[in-house]
């Protein structure tokens, strides 16, 4: 009798132990499964987070670099309502958009109102961002359109780094006299625009230089100038190469209503001509002036000539033919939640 009871108790204990072990095993499995689900869920969230942040960053960078914004002249407007910023340069002569060439006036305008122009227009309002432009030429200072010092509060920051071109000093080429290509001079003659010194008093003055036959002469182009331009811009006569080897080379500047014979020698450095322009203009708010360049006709000593504009107050060290063309820069755009 006692044997049967002991047997039954043993069986009950074995069953209880089996049940307990099963419950422990199930608990362990459920715990491991929960951890695995948490890890998978976390990875999924990280993927969605990173993928969403990447799309936002790429889209924002495309909008800034590839479009001029809406309207295209938004940087000139005082009211920022309804504006979508873009930094792509627009050719004022044909209104052609230069994708990946960014405009310094647009950059300056964005710098002054970055948060207002970016939030909800380029990136979502719940995102934060910074933007910096680093010229490849290290002699030029970086532009920090938006900068945040210290560490970011977010654990993940998406960075879009692109190489773009930028007219970093906001220079302008008023005239370019190509020593070889004379197509523009021919266009002027077809329009009946001849140098005011040509044929004065029956004298064949300012005959055109002929490099093909090595005959000396002049190249003369006209340009329009305003008092507003003169007040905001420093104008320079520059050459490429900067050292003019032609000993006969000279230049002069005047206007048809006020001709002069005051020739100037090239100095192998940029020559500031604001005073000459101002004297030629007199009291006129706008005027058409002419730049005349004389050379010997020796093709081995030919040189190109620029009349270039630099923003008023530009350091003389930066008055260089190099800066008349857009400079390569690194466009660094950072975005995080």
- Give the DSSP H or E segment for 3: helix 2-66
Q: In Å, how far are 105, 182, 203, 248, 291 from 208, measured between CA atoms?
A: 39, 10, 14, 15, 13
pTM above 0.85, yes or no: no
Same domain, 136 and 238: no
Considering the domain architecture, whether residues 90 and 220 belong to the same structural domain is answered as: no
CA 170 – CA 46 distance, rounded (Å): 43
Q: Which parts of the chain register pLDDT below 70?
A: 1-23, 28-51, 92-93, 149-155, 182-192, 199-204
**β-bridge partners, 135:** 329
Question: Residue 271: its pLDDT value, please?
Answer: 97
The answer to whether residues 158 and 203 belong to one domain is no
Q: What is the 3-state secondary structure (H, E, C) of 71-116?
A: CCCHHHCCCCCCCEECCEEECCCCCCEEEEEECHHHHHHHHHCHHH
Is the same domain home to 176 and 303? yes
Tally of structural domains, the chain? 2
Residue 292's alpha-carbon distances to 192, 196, 255, in angstroms, are 17, 10, 11
Please indicate, yes or no, whether residues 77 and 113 belong to a single structural domain of this protein: yes
Element (H, E) at 186: helix 183-190
pLDDT at position 30 is 66
Is residue 8 assigned to a domain?
no
| Domain-embedded: residue 53 | no
DSSP H helical segments within 191-226, as ranges?
none
Domain with 85 in it: 61-169+325-336
Output the pLDDT for position 193. Answer: 73
Identify whether 319 is part of a domain. Answer: no
Identify whether residues 195 and 142 lie together within a single domain.
Answer: no
Residue 49 lies in a domain: no
224 φ, ψ (degrees, to nearest 5):
-105, 140
Tens digits of residue pLDDT in 228-240:
999 999 999 999 9
Residue 107: inside a domain:
yes
Residue 29 lies in a domain: no
Residue 258 lies in a domain: yes
Tell me the CB-side half-sphere exposure of residue 234, using CA atoms within 13 A.
16
Token pair recorded at residue 20 = 């307990």
The pLDDT, as a whole number, for residue 4 is 55
Residue found by looking up tokens 């811009």 in the block: 233
Instruction: Report the phi/psi class of residue 120: left, alpha or beta, with left for phi > 0 and alpha for psi in -120 to 50.
Output: left
Q: Is residue 76 located within the same domain as residue 98? A: yes
Rounded-to-integer distance, Cα 226 and Cα 96, Å: 25
Are both 196 and 268 inside the same structural domain? Answer: yes
DSSP secondary structure string, 225-249?
EEHHHHHHEEEEEEEESSS---TT-
Answer whether residue 51 is part of any domain. no
> Same structural domain for residues 79 and 159?
yes
Q: Which tokens hold the place of 2?
A: 């006692």
Q: pLDDT at position 139, please?
A: 84
Residues 220 and 158 in one domain: no
Model pLDDT, residue 119? 95
Residues 123 and 195 both lie in one domain: no
Same domain, 191 and 127: no
């Amino acid at each position: 009798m006692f044997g049967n009871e002991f047997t039954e108790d043993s069986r009950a204990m074995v069953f209880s132990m089996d049940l307990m072990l099963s419950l422990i095993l199930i608990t362990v499995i459920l715990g491991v499964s929960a951890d695995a689900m948490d890890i998978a869920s976390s990875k999924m969230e990280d993927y969605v987070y990173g993928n969403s942040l990447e799309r936002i960053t790429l889209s924002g960078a495309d909008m800034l670099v590839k479009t001029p914004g809406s309207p295209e002249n938004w940087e000139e407007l005082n009211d920022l309502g309804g504006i979508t910023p873009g930094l792509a340069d627009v050719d004022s002569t044909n209104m052609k958009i230069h994708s990946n060439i960014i405009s310094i006036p647009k950059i300056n305008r964005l710098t002054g109102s970055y948060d207002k122009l970016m939030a909800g227009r380029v990136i979502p309002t719940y995102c934060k961002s910074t933007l910096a432009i680093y010229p490849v030429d290290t002699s030029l200072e970086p532009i920090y359109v938006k900068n945040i010092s210290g560490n970011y509060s977010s654990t993940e920051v998406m960075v879009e780094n692109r190489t773009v071109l930028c007219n970093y000093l906001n220079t302008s080429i008023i005239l370019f006299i190509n020593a070889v290509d004379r197509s523009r001079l021919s266009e002027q003659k077809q329009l009946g625009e001849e140098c005011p010194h040509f044929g004065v008093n029956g004298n064949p003055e300012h005959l055109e230089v002929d490099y093909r036959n090595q005959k000396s002469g002049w190249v003369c182009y006209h340009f329009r100038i305003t008092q507003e331009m003169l007040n905001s811009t420093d104008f320079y006569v520059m050459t490429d190469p900067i050292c003019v080897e032609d000993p006969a080379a000279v230049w002069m500047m005047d206007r048809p209503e006020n001709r002069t014979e005051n020739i100037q020698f090239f100095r192998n450095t940029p020559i500031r001509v604001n005073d000459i322009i101002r004297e030629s203009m007199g009291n006129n708010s706008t005027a058409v002036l002419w730049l005349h360049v004389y050379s010997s006709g020796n093709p081995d000593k030919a040189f190109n000539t620029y009349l270039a504009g630099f923003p008023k107050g530009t350091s003389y060290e930066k008055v260089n033919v190099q800066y008349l063309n857009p400079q390569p820069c690194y466009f660094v755009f950072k975005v995080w939640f």
